[in-house]
Every structure is written in C-alpha cells, then in structure tokens.
Amino acid sequence: MARESRTGGPLGWYFRTSLFTRILLGLVLGAAVGIALSHFPGGAEAFVSRGQFFGDVFIRLLRMIVVPVVFFSLITGTASITPSLIGRTGGKTFLYYFATSAIAVAIGLAVALLFRPGEGMDVVGVAGAKGELAQPPPFGQVVLNVIPTNPFESLASGDILPIIFFALAVGIGLSALRDSKNETLARQANVFYDFCAAAAEIVYRMVGGVMQYAPIGVFFLIATVFARQGSQAIGPLAYVALTFYVGLLLHLVIGYGGLLTLFGLNFVKFLRGAREPMVAAFVTRSSSGTLPLTVRASEERLGVPRTIGSFVLPIGATVNMDGTAIYIMVCAVFIGFATGMPLDGGQMLTLAATAVLAAIGTAGVPGAGALMLIMALESVGLKVAAGSAVAATYALVLGIDTLLDMGRSCMNVTGDIAGVAIVAKSEKMLDLSKWK
Ligand code: ASP
C-alpha cells in the first residue's frame, strides 16, 4: 500500500509499466478475450456492442491529432532550412531522398502484391458491416486536388494532401522571411516560427498523452476483431509483419546497397560503420532521438565531414523516411485485402504518391508513421471511421505497431546515413581512409 501511494494511487502500476509492455499486454489480452468470446456468439455480440465505445475513443483521439501534427511539424521542418544552405548539396540531398523514396514505395508495393497479406480475411466492422469504399477521385483529379483552393477549408475537413501542400508552401515562405534583411519582417517571421514550433511541440506532447490510452484502446479494438474472427486473425497479422520485413530487407540491399555500390562505396563497410545508430533506432523507435548517434557515427566511422553531416542529417531525420513509406504501402494493401476492398491500379498510384508525402510529414518519433497510415488510407477512399471494417483492421496493425515501428525507424536512420555518405562522396569530401 505504501508503495502504491508513492506512485500515484490505484492506477500507479499502469503508468509505472512501460508503454511497450502495456500495449503488448493490451494486444495479447485483447486477442485472448476475443478468441474466448468467439466461441459464444451471443456473448461476443454483447461485448462488441459495449466495447465499441472504448475502441472508438481511441480512434477519435488519434484522428484528432493527425491534422495538427502534419500542419505544424511540416511548417517548422521546412522553415528550419535556411535558403542559403539549399544550394548544390541541398539539391543532391533532395534528389537522393526522392530517389530512395521512390525505390521504397516500389519495393513496398511489389512485396505487398507478391505476398498479398490479408487476402481472404473478410474483416467486418462493429455493426457487422463489411468495408465500403468511399469513392476516391481519378488519379488526375487527385493531383489537382493537392492544390487547395481554400486551405482553411482543407484544414477544417482534414484533406491531408492539400494540407501538406499548403504547409510546405507556408514553410518555404517563412524560411525566406526569417532570413530577410528587413529586421521587422525577420522578427515577425520568427515570432510565427516560434509559435508553430511550440504548437508542434504541444501536439507531440498530446501524442504522448493519447498513447497512454493506447493499451486500452488496442485491447478493445483487438478483442472486438477477434470476437468476430476467432483465431483466424493471428496468421494474417504475422504474415503482414513478415511481408513488411522482407520489404525492408530488400530495400536495404537493393536500394542502399545498390546506390552505395554505384558511388563506389563498400556496402559491408557501410553497415559496420552505421550499426550503432541502426540498433539504437530499432530499440528507441525514433529517428529524431537517434540523431546524435547518427551524426557521430557518420563523422567518426564513415568519414563524413561535419559541414555536410550537420546539414544533411537533421533534415534526413525529419523528412527522409523510407521505412515508413514501405510500411504505408504494405499495410494499406493489407487493409484493402482484409476488408474485401483490394486497391486498383489508380488507387495504388495515389497511394504511392501519398506514401512519399506522408513519409515527409512523419515526425521522427515512435508511432508517428501509424498516424500517417490513417491519412494514406483515406487518400484512397479507405476511411478509418469509428466502427468500420477499415478501423477494425487498422486496429490490428496498430496492435503490432511497436514491432513494425522498430523496423521502419531502423530503416529510416539507415537511409539518412547512406544519403549523407553518398552526398559527401559526390562532393569529394568523404574521408575514404575510414572505408578501407
Ligand atoms: N518512428 C519512426 C521514426 O522515428 C517514424 C514512424 O513512426 O514511422 O523514424
């Protein structure tokens, strides 16, 4: 009892236990309760109708955060780049980010279509309803729709692509103004920048708060799915994780291995030099958190000069997320199959474009990619509405998000390090003695 009062009353144990353990517990208990209930159809229905509320709370909390996260973190991220730095090095860096994102998306799609996770799963929503595709517009229209005619309307209705477009534009304008020779303008721009940076920070705090509810939300969402599906849901879940990890491995070898070799750099030596931050990212699930290690390893082990590292790596940790792009492709295809609404060619193209943008908008913190998956799904008409089959399947992947987040964070950081080495090599500034 004495211990309990020291740690904040009856719920002390909850907050004392690591979030990772609690989510895992939510997942396992949810699956166990759901499977047990699936043997009693009457009980399962009663549970589903009552438990729905607690699952919906979680879905709504997540949805609440998506727009502010994307909006404020993109403005701050873009505005942090000084225009004078975006010269040749910047150009090369972005070319590398774009090329590797394209490779990541292609590999993600290829493995997803090859392995076809979720096919034949037939998840139903809380009301017993199967998925219903909200009609996505044709691809050409999607491209046009990226440009908002009224950004405030897009913000209000949560249209994520136009929001990203607008936030990038605001960020670029802001970045120029912060460097203005006119002191008043520069001061005003910095006030706005500070406001956005603080807002982004506040929203990240909120993400942390929402995640405290995640174990409960995951429990109810998973239990609901398993109560309906029985134990059949376990197999597909393991299968989607396998598909994703195969995608990551292919990207590591073909994407980074290929590019490094193309630039005359030894892939094995690269892995040896990058292994510390790679492991750290895997364990912490945060590219931003790993940044200090990434900078050090690039400098000390791979011979990247500080001038290049300190510019390329922080941007990379914010915008370069190939692991997240692969995750979005694999999981979206999985959810399409599992809800009986497999994606068609046009949707896959839209998804690919969204995955690249979503990866840019993903913050380098644990779980951020899972929020981006919501917006990627919505861009192809798979709406994560409370009680829907899509929300139920989304909850399934969310249940194993920790496992997936480890892989994608590791890949995100690896991509940053490969990028900085390649850019430094192409600028003839890499200390090649470290690669001997
Ligand atoms: N946790 C990832 C990272 O920090 C982002 C994500 O959730 O996809 O790189």
- Residue nearest atom 2 in ligand 1 by C-alpha distance: 409
- Residue nearest atom 6 in ligand 1 by C-alpha distance: 369
Q: What residues does each domain of the chain span?
A: 19-435
Alpha carbon distances (Å) from 69 to 203, 295, 306, 361: 6, 26, 30, 8
Angle at 224 between CA 395 and CA 389, to 5 degrees: 55
Contacts of 37 (CB under 8 A, 6+ apart): 43, 44, 47, 223, 226, 227
Our measurement of the distance from residue 201's CA atom to the centroid of its chain's CA atoms, rounded to an integer in Å, reads: 17
Tens digit of pLDDT at every position of the chain (436 positions)? 344 444 567 777 777 777 767 877 888 898 899 889 888 878 888 888 888 888 888 878 877 877 887 788 778 877 876 666 556 777 888 899 999 999 999 999 999 999 999 888 877 766 666 666 655 556 677 678 789 999 999 999 877 778 878 988 998 899 889 989 999 999 999 999 999 989 988 887 887 788 788 889 888 887 887 887 777 777 888 899 999 999 999 999 999 999 999 999 999 999 999 988 898 888 778 887 788 788 888 989 999 987 778 777 877 887 799 999 999 999 999 999 999 999 999 899 989 988 988 887 777 888 889 988 998 998 888 988 888 889 989 988 988 887 899 899 999 999 999 999 999 999 888 999 999 8
The predicted pLDDT at position 271 comes to 96
Contacts of 147 (CB under 8 A, 6+ apart): 162, 165
- What is the topology classification, in CATH, of domain 19-435? Proton glutamate symport protein (1.10.3860)
Do 434 and 303 form a contact (C-beta atoms < 8 A)?
yes
Distance 407 CA to ligand 1 centre (A): 9
The predicted pLDDT at position 5 comes to 46
Summarised one tens digit per residue, pLDDT across range 20-60 is 678 778 888 988 998 898 888 788 888 888 888 888 888 78
Residue 290 CA: which ligand 1 atom is closest? 4
Q: pTM above 0.85?
A: no
The C-alpha atoms of residue 376 and residue 372 are separated, in whole angstroms, by: 6
Rg from Cα positions in the chain: 22
Distance 329 CA to ligand 1 centre (A): 15
Alpha carbon distances (Å) from 416 to 46, 287, 341, 423: 49, 9, 35, 11
User: How long is the chain?
Assistant: 436
Residue 289 CA: which ligand 1 atom is closest? 4
Residue ranges of the alpha helices (H) in 116-182?
Answer: 139-145, 151-157, 160-178
- Choose among 398, 100, 417: nearest CA to 290: 417
SS3 content of the chain, % helix, strand, coil (to 5): 80, 0, 20
Q: Which two tokens stand for residue 178?
A: 């912060």
The C-alpha atoms of residue 34 and residue 48 are separated, in whole angstroms, by: 9
Using a 6 Å CB cutoff, which residues line ligand 1? 285-287, 321, 324, 362, 364-369, 405, 408-409, 412
Alpha carbon distances (Å) from 377 to 42, 276, 361, 433: 32, 34, 15, 46
The predicted pLDDT at position 4 comes to 44
Residue ranges of the alpha helices (H) in 179-321?
Answer: 183-229, 234-250, 258-262, 267-284, 287-296, 306-319
The C-alpha atoms of residue 22 and residue 184 are separated, in whole angstroms, by: 50
The predicted pLDDT at position 1 comes to 38
Residue 321 CA: which ligand 1 atom is closest? 9
Ligand 1 pocket test, candidate residues 20, 211, 411, 412, most atoms within 8 A of CB: 412
Number of C-beta neighbours around residue 97 at 10 A: 23
Residue 370 CA: which ligand 1 atom is closest? 7
Specify the amino acid at residue 371.
Answer: L
Q: What are phi and psi of 82, to 5 degrees?
A: -70, 130
